Structure 1
Amino acid sequence: MLKARVFTAVLLISVFLSAVFFLPPLGWAAFATVIASLAAWEWGALMKAGALSRVFLAVGMLSACFALALIDPAGVGIVDGSSDGVWRLGRLFYWPAAFFWLVLAPLWLVRHWPLPASALAVLVGVIVILPAWLALIQIRSVGPWLLVIVMAVVWCADTGAYVFGRALGRHKLAPRISPGKTWEGAIGGAGVVIAYGFIVIPHLPPFLSGNHLIFAVGLLFLTAVSVTGDLFESLLKRQVGLKDSSRMLPGHGGILDRIDSLTSTLPLVALVLLSGSN
């Protein structure tokens, strides 16, 4: 299992970095669309949908992404355009995503609501996946390094939480949802994120890093949101009796297992970038 996990991790990192740095904008959009479609297929498992329904969810997500790219390629960020043009669709998708992750998702975690097998569950899946898809494309359109730096915030939070949780973890963070997570791990992960943030601060747009105190608070906030995304998917999996969203990635579970924290953080970062571009 360890060999499979390491091999899959190396392969995923290699494919991702190759895609983000070498694919043209349209190719990157296609890459992000494949990820979103596979995530939608896995979302069907969280809805307890049948095999055919899960295929329809994947095709529906693929069609939605294709339609957005076809109708407004500049707004998606796959062709050159003005800064305002690139972020145009962001106003439509990022604010609902922010409301979901900052208000509804925390309430969902407290109330332990089940995911209904209905149109409402599909709508929740769209809010979880589609804004993250758009953010992947639009943040990368600003610069591939910026996207990597932003995504590395989540990776640092996860790694720090694992290391500090294993070494110092005593107090459970959410025992009914994810028994392995601890407050010590979460605090350690936040500390790693702060250290990382001040290392990469010279490479960020000035409006993001002009005030160091606000920047540090923003990093802590982003870390908390990443934990919310992780716990939200963990809750849904536990409710339907799944350990992983799928077995697509040997040793790592499924696509949603790898991007759960990114679905919550990327749209919020994109919303900040949208505000800064105006």
Structure 2
Amino acid sequence: MLKQRVLTALWLLPLMLGMLFWANGAIWGLFCGVMTMLALWEYGRIVGFSRAVQRDYLLGNGFFLLTAWVANWQLPKFVWLLVLAFWLVVMPIWLRQKWQPKGTMAMLVGCVLMLPFWFGMMVLRPDGEAAGALLAVLVLVWIADSGAYFIGRKLGKRPLASVISPKKSWEGALGGWLIVLIYMCWAREWGWLGFEMNWFGTMLVSTILVAVSVGGDLLESWLKRAGGVKDSSQLLAGHGGVFDRIDSLIAVVAVYAAVMVLCA
């Protein structure tokens, strides 16, 4: 399993970095669209869409993203406010109440999860020369996840969400948060954040993003547990599916892009 994870990561990381810095706008939009649609397909499997519903759902969302890509649509600020409300207010309540989306609500949730992610990827990386803000977000998610994993293994005692994800601990989450704070101070000094912010604001945004990253991970874990699924798919050997790999990123990209748009 570890060998498979390493081998998959060895081609995934260069692919992501290559697209991030050297793809033109059209290829970047297509790349992010494929990633979004694969995650949306996996989401449909997790929540139990029938084959017919899954087909129509993917066609509808695919057509919307294609139109947005061709027409260069931007989400208005009030939509980004709703995105913030979902991740900062609705998501914690959801995890506490352990809702199980069904029918129309499941379709709506899929759109709320995936579509702002695509728009956020466009906002944070308008071109290869301005890829620093998105790279900063990617590194933040990787640091938060890796820090929480390794510190949790060494020091973890108190479960963070025992019913949803028994292996996650408060100690791991706090350790990942502290490492992210150090990293974000450095990223701010180098001007990677995409907008000007004082030290206190940087710490506040960092704290929110770490909480959202953990929440995105837990939300996908809950969806899989409620759907009786171990992995979102087997597309990525040793890693599960695309949704498994970008669950935290979906949340963080949406919130970070919302902050950038609303602060502009």
TM-score in same-fold range (> 0.5): yes
Q: 1:229 aligns with which of 206, 213, 216?
A: 216
RMSD of the TM alignment (CA)?
1.7
**Contact map agreement 1:2 1:251 (CA 8 A) in 2:** yes
* Matching residue of 2:237: 250
TM-score by length of 1: 0.89
Aligned to 1:111: 97
Partner of 1:126: 111
What whole-Å deviation, never above 9, does each CA across 1:130-163 have from its counterpart, x for those lacking one? 0011000111016112111112111110000001
Aligned 8 A contact 2:231 2:241 in 1: yes
* 1:16 correspondence with 2:16: yes
Unaligned runs of 5+ in 1: 76-87
Q: Assess if the C-alpha contact under 8 Å between 2:149 and 2:172 holds in 1.
A: yes
For residues 10-31 of structure 1, what are the alpha-carbon distances to aligned partners after superposition, in whole Å with 9 as ceiling and x for unaligned? 2111111111111101110011
3-state secondary structure, aligned to 1:179: strand
Post-superposition offset of 1:205: 6.4
For 1:72-111, list aligned pairs within 5 A.
72-73=71-72, 75=73, 88-91=74-77, 93-111=79-97
The number of residues matched between the two structures is 262
Are 2:132 and 2:194, in contact at CA under 8 Å, matched by a contact in 1? no
Conservation of the 8 A alpha-carbon contact between 2:235 and 2:241: yes
Q: Do the aligned residues in 2 keep the contact of 1:158 with 1:189 (CA within 8 Å)?
A: yes
Partner of 1:135: 120
Correspondences of 1:1-278 after superposition (within 5 Å): 1-70=1-70, 72-73=71-72, 75=73, 88-91=74-77, 93-116=79-102, 118-141=103-126, 143-204=130-191, 208-277=195-264
User: What letter is aligned with 1:115?
Assistant: P
Q: Following the alignment from structure 2 to structure 1, what is the Cα–Cα distance between the partners of residues 232 and 193?
A: 38
Higher RCO, 1 or 2 (CA under 8 Å, sep at least 6)? 2
User: Residues of 2 paired with 1:234 and 1:132: CA distance?
Assistant: 18
CA distance in 1, matches of 2:49, 2:193: 46
**Whole-angstrom CA distance in 2 between matches of 1:115 and 1:139:** 30
What's the counterpart of residue 81 of structure 1?
none
Aligned counterparts of 1:251 and 1:19: Cα–Cα separation in 2? 22
Q: Which letter maps to 2:43?
A: W
Contact 2:133–2:192 (CA<8 Å) still a contact in 1? no
Q: Distance in 2 between matches of 1:276 and 1:177?
A: 34
Q: Secondary structure at the match of 1:271?
A: helix
**Counterpart Cα distance in 2 of 1:46 and 1:206:** 34
Maintained 8 Å contact 2:146/2:176: yes
Is this contact kept in 1: 2:132–2:193, CA < 8 A? no
Identity of aligned residues (%): 36
TM-score, normalization by structure 2:
0.94
Structure 2 unmatched ranges of 5 or more = none
Residue deviations 1:66-114 (CA, integer Å, cap 9, x gap): 11123x31x4xxxxxxxxxxxx424254222211111111111001111
Check the 8 A contact 1:151/1:262 in 2, yes or no.
yes
Amino acid at match of 1:220: T
The residue identity in structure 2 corresponding to 1:133 is: W
1:246–1:150 CA distance, 2 compared to 1 (3 A): same
Counterpart-to-counterpart distance in 1, 2:135 and 2:60: 28
